[in-house]
Chains A and B, each alone.
Chain A
């Protein structure tokens, strides 16, 4: 398939634009999505192309952005609501968790909520404590939501299209650190990656690295480093935190018998906790070492740069975790 090398930001923009061209019911709403061209430039050029009706600048009202997206979706539209950053989505948790995720169930299937909540997630540039979260697991905790966490430009392209065409409410997390990262993006307006299917990004036989989103970068670098010592890492990029493709994790683990889980987020009640629990529950007799986790440190993120960097995982921490269980 022909493909272009595009930054993830451009891949997302292309996916969103093509979906809006394809389906009149798809529209975007959020803070600064129109005149400002999108805080992260994903909706650059949209206002000019689609007009105010389909590119809706909103007040700074996260509860209303999320709630109105739910209402519009119930009425049959396919809103793509942008949370400028995922930190602000905390304000909209009730609308997303109590409403978006539960309406289909609570009313016994009478209504669908095909809304996509895009949110820029992550840390860096000394954004400080309230602006340095990767809290996707909060949404993944609740049945009724899907949670997309792409790690590459191509995946972001195929997953956003899938998300927009899916009839369920979806948190679509975009890692801020990955926006500029280039990747191969297929030239196919119907390129769709299946909901809840993980991707083995690298094959290996000695240890399984389970990760998502930005963690893939650290895992890939660590795998290259470890290869020098003869350690072959298999990297499972989950792509979606819900549905969670545990089958692919188990298959890999049964081959390598060891796992290190790498997540950008905090360690308590986390992605790592969940994967580790699932592995021990389903692969107990295949475990040849304890399952290790590499997570952010359990502390609010401070301003000062060196302290900020200490908080987060990196390739070296992944290497050390792998070595500790070999």
Chain B
């Protein structure tokens, strides 16, 4: 049975001193991690063979992250130091680059079959391991020998058990790889070749999967934001004492959550001939990270959470995300996502759905624009455009339009958000 090597501090992995497959003795230094004020040596917790390396040099890791596993001699065999990512986020309570739902389904094919090598199936059969519980690290998420050999039920909290996504039904999995290239790699003085980060590759996989499998359609609405902006000012003035600040984004998330409550079909995930309707409304929020990259944090039960509590929770999550200290619960169980680029002064845009979610709302900036007032006179108003992307397998244009209609009415009559 493999034993985990856990970090006892936050830090960046500087160096592996051992390779996968190497024998190690208890107390032997296997890695160096740059913590806040010092370089810390990571010791092997037991005698054995380094079965698996679960982090790469340069990874920012949080306390408790399992960076390696030590097993009995003979268990080691996978070329874990190989160029392809040997480990995936699901086993680590550490920054996860992939959305949990997508991660959980990475080893499952479109038709619901678990993707595992014959050898992995054989070993799983002998050891009595349920492959549905194993996270695959092979190409396209295939479960390979190393995954089943290093698998322990305790060490692998199944992402499927996340509160909002309890179903074990298989989700769509990559049809084509996001690692597609365009022939020979260019070279020469005019270009710089950079290794794609794990997160970049994960985003690539996920978005390619979505764009290839999910038939998107888009509905855009323009929303009068004057009333909302006014209400926000009032609220923030009253909350100032408590140090709470409600953002436009918080109000939008709230509005989305309430709209989803009214349109449960868009809080539904598509699984072939089955549709999974979520009873909880957990709104994912895309967060841009400082050094490129993107992570979707989750606002759980956003329809039922008070705005002030939501605002506090959101801020704390965003800070953790930007500092690379995200917690597993921060990224679990989204049922619908909001992507807000309003801070960048954009008119509007459309976003790519995170499968298996049925939709994503892309929010532009609230901008001062010339408007025709209800009395026919010209004036200046605050307007914001939002575009919902909808999985056409789940819903149709009319419902998308009604969703936007309701969403707009909530924002234009913002008192409804407080009720």
Contact = CB atoms under 8 A, between A and B. Distances in A.
B58 to A, nearest CB: 16
B79 A287 contact: no
B119 A288 contact: yes
Given A230-B79, A257-B77, A323-B83, A285 B122 contact: yes
B83 A257 contact: no
Interface string B75-107: 001110111100000000000000000000000
Q: Which of A205, A207, A324, A326 has the most CB of B within 10 A?
A: A326
Given A285-B121, A288-B118, A288-B120, 8 more contacts: A206-B79, A207-B79, A229-B81, A230-B79, A231-B81, A285-B122, A288-B144, A326-B139
B20 interface: yes
A325 interface: yes
B144 A289 contact: yes
A146 B153 CA distance: 53
A205 B49 CA distance: 15
Contacts of A288: 78, 117-120, 138, 144-145
Contacts of A325: 138-139
Interface residues of B, number: 21
A-B pairs, top 4 by smallest CB distance, nearest first, are A230-B81, A326-B82, A206-B79, A285-B122
B118 A230 contact: no
A285 B83 CA distance: 25
B152 interface: no
Given A206-B79, A288-B117, A326 B145 contact: no
Given A207-B79, A229-B82, A326-B83, A286 B139 contact: no
Nearest to A255: B77
A111 interface: no
Nearest to A257: B119
A230 B20 contact: yes
Contacts of A289: 117, 138-139, 142, 144
25 contacts: A205-B77, A206-B79, A207-B79, A230-B19, A230-B81, A231-B81, A232-B79, A284-B118, A285-B118, A286-B118, A286-B119, A286-B122, A287-B117, A287-B118, A287-B119, A288-B117, A288-B120, A288-B138, A288-B144, A289-B138, A289-B142, A323-B84, A324-B139, A325-B139, A326-B83
Contacts of A323: 82-84
Nearest to B142: A289
B13 to A, nearest CB: 16
A229 B118 contact: no
Interface string A212-253: 000000000000000001111000000000000000000000
Q: Which of A232, A285, A288, A289 has the most CB of B within 10 A?
A: A288
Q: Which of B79, B82, B145 has the most CB of A within 10 A?
A: B79
Interface in B144-190: 144-145
Dominant secondary structure of chain B at its interface with chain A = loop
A282 B238 CA distance: 75
B302 to A, nearest CB: 41
B145 A229 contact: no
Interface in B18-56: 19-21
A207 B122 CA distance: 19
Contacts of B138: 288-289, 325
Interface of A: 205-207, 229-232, 257, 284-289, 323-326
A323 B84 CA distance: 7
Contacts of B78: 206, 288
B335 to A, nearest CB: 35
Contacts of B139: 289, 324-326
Nearest to B181: A320
A285 B119 contact: yes
Contacts of B120: 288
Contacts of A231: 79, 81-83
B18 to A, nearest CB: 11
A230 B82 contact: yes
Given A205-B77, A257-B77, A229 B83 contact: yes
A22 to B, nearest CB: 48
Contacts of B82: 206, 229-231, 323, 326
A207 B144 CA distance: 14
Q: Which of B84, B119, B120 has the most CB of A within 10 A?
A: B119
A73 B216 CA distance: 73
A146 B25 CA distance: 52
A210 to B, nearest CB: 18
Nearest to A254: B119
Contact of A257 (B19, B81, B121, B145): B145
Contacts of A230: 19-20, 79, 81-82
A230 B83 CA distance: 9
B80 to A, nearest CB: 8
Contacts of A324: 139
A270 B33 CA distance: 50
A284 B122 CA distance: 9
Contacts of B118: 284-288
Nearest to B53: A230
A287 B19 CA distance: 23
A287 B82 CA distance: 18
Contacts of A205: 21, 77
A326 B139 CA distance: 7
Nearest to A325: B139
Nearest to A284: B118
